[in-house]
Amino acid sequence: MKKYNVAVIGAGVVGIEMLRVLKERNFPVQDLRVFARSSREIDVDGQKYAVEAVSPEGFKGIDIALFAGTEGEKGAAVTFAPEAIKRGAVVIDNGADFRMDPKVPLVVPEVNAADVRKHKGIIANPNCSTIQMVVALWPIHKKAGIKKIIVTTLQASSGAGKAAVEQLKEETVIISSRGFTSVHVNVENRAMPQQLGFNVFPHIGGFSECDYTSEEWKLVHETHKIMHDKKIKISATTIRVPVRTGHSESVYIETAKPITADAARKLLSRAAGIVVIDDPAKSLYPMPKDVEGRDEVFVGRIRQDCFEKKGLWLWVVADNLRKGAATNAVQIAECLVK
């Protein structure tokens, strides 16, 4: 089997997951290099990695460059992706800079793997909340056609990077130490716009057109691009919740053709990359604590709308650092080498 020289750019939470996923999935790596803003050594599950300061010259001989696009490395792809491409690498970028560029494929392998072939040196990895939603909805869209999506996301702190996870931890410790006499706390160097410990708030990204946040618009525009269908009406509300890792989504869809909950359940059970856990009477449904470290998208609470025969509800959960970022990027690389 041919092996490839691979670079991971970014040593934050997503970059570390990329290193794990490359190893776990036995990606055919000849030489692996890790780049970040500054040189240092990191330890990932007992394995040491030498991190080099990123530079244009560092991409010489690299076949595939995985840009983590996470905290501490935002914007790195804008500066260094063209340099990597110049030196013969194919760039897979987890950041938002190239996602809506019409010349750049936006890929979720379970949905539109064939789009990888259209690349001109760079392939974009979608937003974490978009990835898990389209994986869950694509089999239904192929079977019955989806006309409308209404989604509410409940997104974990790790989706905002290491500093947000630390904020949640600090707030939780302080409130717990008070014996829950007050849930109000104000920590220094807060990474998020509001307190997250023992709280939720509907604010991810900046507010823009129609008072949607940028995160909400990502769900709209990215889904249209990945599913090659701009006619789907999509409305979203994105909420930050006090969970370490694992995004959850409450998704309502209306289809062009009627499809029963049982039919959808069977369809999803057979689909690649999906695990169905759906027995509410026994309190069985996907939860963030159970999907952490997993690469699949988990679906449950599949049920018919009582008032609309073409309406379905689904509950969708996935590890935002794995399938929502690192795993999807490595899967794109796997499509490339095939």
By annotation, the residues acting in catalysis are 128, 247
Q: What per-residue string of b and e applies to 139-150 under the rule 16 or more CB within 10 Å gives b? A: bbbeebbbbbbb
Region at 228 (left for phi over 0; alpha for psi -120 to 50; beta for the rest): left
Nearest to 124 by CA among 37, 51, 38, 222: 222
Residue 300: count other Cβ atoms within 10 Å of its Cβ: 21
Residues 32 and 56 sit within 8 Å (Cβ to Cβ) = no
In angstroms and rounded to an integer, the radius of gyration of the C-alpha atoms of the chain is: 20
Nearest to 326 by CA among 280, 291, 295, 281: 295
First-to-last alpha carbon distance for the chain, in angstroms, is 11
- The secondary structure of residue 322, as a DSSP letter, is I
Q: For residues 334 and 338, what is the distance between their CA atoms, to the nearest angstrom?
A: 6
